[in-house]
Amino acid sequence: MKKCLSLFVVGVLFGLISCRINCPDFDKKILSWIPYQEKDVIELYSQSKDSTIIFSIKDVVIDHTTYYHGKCACGDYISIRGHDKSDFQIFISSEGNFIHSQSYQIGDTEFNDNDTYTEIKDFLFESIKYDIVRIFEKNNSKETYKKLIIAKDIGII
């Protein structure tokens, strides 16, 4: 019985070692949607320009999976937080260098993949043309913010 158990354990360990999968390098192109670095300042203002909210970035953390065993997936997690965590946070998870889910918290409003979400090319906003944007819209009238527009290579506009 000990011999069978030992062979089983050796077989399982060999299987785990031999099934090691290397994940692709982290593709920094994902960061083009959120091109923020520590100490960056984001200014958001109302369309009537009568109020401005300023967030400063405290930290940007990228957790990259280099390899996995078995049925796990190559996944990356990006976290961007403002100095006051309750005012500004971004979380992005990706699998195989494609965004799997995203969440943006600005004050008491959170935008994520469950909200109405569209991607538009050649978007004109306040007399500025953006190559491509992602627009998240809230249907809940109790939220402070109704819409979040993110321009590639620029970030939140």
pLDDT at res. 115: 79
Do 9 and 15 meet the contact criterion of CB atoms below 8 Å apart?
no
pLDDT tens for residues 30-76? 889 899 999 999 888 766 667 788 889 999 999 887 766 555 667 78
pTM as predicted: 0.75
149 is in which domain, residue-wise? 2-156
| Of residues 50 and 119, more confidently modeled | 119
- Of 41-45, 64-68, 119-123, 125-129, the poorest mean pLDDT is in 64-68
pLDDT at position 6: 52
Residue 120 has pLDDT above 90, yes or no: yes
pLDDT one-digit tens code per residue, 131-141: 999 999 887 66
Per the structure, how many domains does the chain have? 1
Strand (E) positions, the chain? 21-22, 41-45, 52-64, 67-68, 75-82, 88-95, 98-106, 109-112, 116-125, 128-137, 147-151, 155-156
